[in-house]
Amino acid sequence: MKKLKTLSIFFPFWNEEENIEKVVESAIPVAEKVANTWEIILVDDGSSDSTLIKANELSKKNKNVRVITHSPNRGYGASLKEGFLNSRYSTIVFTDGDGQFDFSEVTKFIEKIDKSDLVIGFREVRRDNFIRHILMNMLKIWDFVFFGFYFRDIDCGFKMFRKEAVDQLLPLRSEGAMISTEILVKAKRKKLKISEVSVNHYPRLYGEQNGSNISVIIRAVLESLILWWDIRNGRF
């Protein structure tokens, strides 16, 4: 595997005080191995626990680690937008900050990014509860009906981008969970090349998932309808 010249890595965090240190400290040696110049951006989405405190401590230990924060909590999509907007380097990758991915698998994405604009992960076995499995399959059907595309794992929180591809996708509207759909809709309409790669998924050991909360689901549906309406009316 060739070494990247530059790499921006970011992690979205919301109330992940028990996960943040392990996620970041395990990513640093991988970053050193796969890129000559790299940065890690910790995006705190208005956490109410000690996530931000720990993020700042981690940034003090390593000059390549930066912290971005906003308050109050805005949502997963807002965190991804902050990560994209603050990434400085030619290749950008993010994974969720909940400890359910092994960042060392970034090498699989690097192998494909030369011939792709986006590389998106799909979880071979998803280590989530039954409700989230149902929601995942509903999202696949929803996106096929409304937007005419199909991917194996639309909302997998492990994706890599060329920076020039991100520049074509911005600005992004979604502040919540529908951000992944918006990214893929825009990528398809821009005729960007999208590759998929399998990744392992591990059970969440600490903290709580909120993707199946009714408020999150309602917000995602509304954002999806707005996205569909914008496309129908030629707004992008």
pTM of structure: 0.91
pLDDT (0 to 100) of residue 234: 67
pLDDT per residue over 161-174, tens digit each?
999 999 999 999 99
pLDDT (0 to 100) of residue 227: 79
pLDDT of 57 > 60? The answer is yes
pLDDT (0 to 100) of residue 230: 75
Q: Is 122 helix (H, G, I), strand (E, B) or coil?
A: strand
What residues pair up with 194 in beta bridges, in sequence order?
Answer: 118
pLDDT (0 to 100) of residue 122: 96
pLDDT of 3 > 90? The answer is yes
- Chain-centroid distance, C-alpha 14: 13
- For 191, phi and psi rounded to 5 degrees? 60, 40
pLDDT per residue over 79-98, tens digit each?
999 999 999 999 999 999 99
pLDDT (0 to 100) of residue 123: 94
- Write out the DSSP string of 30-44: HHHHHEEEEEEEEEE
- Which band of pLDDT confidence, cut at 50, 70 and 90, is reported for residue 232? confident
CATH fold of 4-232 reads Spore Coat Polysaccharide Biosynthesis Protein SpsA; Chain A (3.90.550)
pLDDT (0 to 100) of residue 235: 67
Locate the domains of the chain by residue range.
4-232
